[in-house]
Structure 1
């Protein structure tokens, strides 16, 4: 499904934020307080359920505690022993079918991954707007 088609579905959801989102559980992994608060506000206003981790170790615990997580939204650069790319790879191995969105302020970060494990459509560039965020989220959940 194209991102343009998702845009029209987003407009429907903006008119009725809880429409279809109540059963989607998002795991947000973000170490930056400001970005984490902004993103959780967007998730909350859009009617999504979510759990939050500040690093990969916390995220792994949440993945194991919540088998119903539909989507992992993770910053690429995380504190600790594991970065967001490694976390995403782990999540996909643990839970085949989980959707993944990677986020970073470095637009070339995916170029450093060989072979490419994630597509450009799975990447959310920081800083992002509400519309960019919701479009990327809906695209990931629908594909």
Structure 2
């Protein structure tokens, strides 16, 4: 159902990220369980969580999709810098990448991201929102980052359509872009592809 999709929300802009139920759904599925929502107008909503009983051994690995399992075998622990000014969205992205086997560093704005890039030469890829609060947007950050590290792969994301940015001059044609909402598998697959391809555009 749509309420479990990452970033889906009925709240106005700035009042919610749409990650709460998405995180619940992810946790339940990774645990091998099921979640249902039943809503009746005028009566309310019932959410049912069904989780497997624990054996108490504590050694059960989380259940992963086939796509994520395949990517885990290819992730080599590269370091990814996630730049996002919405804290919950940043946490979702960072958790998704860490779960897939990457080392993750986080920044909430451009200046903080540049400081991390200067201190951590092992950063293998920059994953940034196009629209950032603060003195620089994602395109400006990428330009500054590439001045420091010319071969650094950059992956942009946004809740706005790719064409809106390309046609208004904020992004160049052919840039690496992943639209929001995205799934854990889609993010991991895109980054896996970029690192495997040496950062070349699609």
**Coarse TM-score class (shorter-chain normalised):** 0.7 to 0.9
How far does residue 88 in structure 1 lie from its aligned partner after superposition? Answer: 0.7
How far does residue 111 in structure 1 lie from its aligned partner after superposition? 2.4
1:109 paired to 2:109: no
Give me the whole-angstrom Cα distance separating, in 2, the residues matched to 1:57 and 1:129. 27
- Name the counterpart of 1:41: 95
Residue correspondences, number: 131
CA displacement at 1:115 relative to structure 2 = 7.7
Q: CA deviation at 1:14?
A: 1.4
How is 1:1-143 mapped onto 2 (pairs within 5 angstroms)? 11=66, 14-15=69-70, 17=72, 19-107=73-161, 108-113=164-169, 116=172, 119-120=174-175, 122-143=176-197
* Alignment partner, residue 8 of structure 2: none
Normalising by structure 2, what TM-score?
Answer: 0.59
Distance in 2, Cα, partners of 1:36 & 1:134: 15
SS of 1:113's equivalent? Answer: coil
Q: Distance in 2 between matches of 1:14 and 1:48?
A: 13
| Inter-partner Cα distance in structure 1 for 2:155 and 2:83 | 10
Partners of 1:66 and 1:112 lie apart in 2 by: 33
Structure richer in helix, relative to its length: 1
Q: Which has the larger radius of gyration?
A: 2
- Runs of 4+ off more than 6 Å: none
Give the gaps of 5 or more residues in structure 2. Answer: 1-64, 198-202
Between the aligned partners of 1:52 and 1:35, the Cα distance in structure 2 is 11
Equivalent residue of 2:105, what SS?
A: strand
3-state SS of 2:156 partner: strand
Change (3 A) 1:13 1:96: same
Matches of 1:97 and 1:56, distance apart in 2: 19
SS of corresponding position for 1:71: strand
Unaligned stretches of 5+ residues in structure 1:
1-9
**Once superposed, what is the RMSD of the aligned Cα atoms?**
2.1
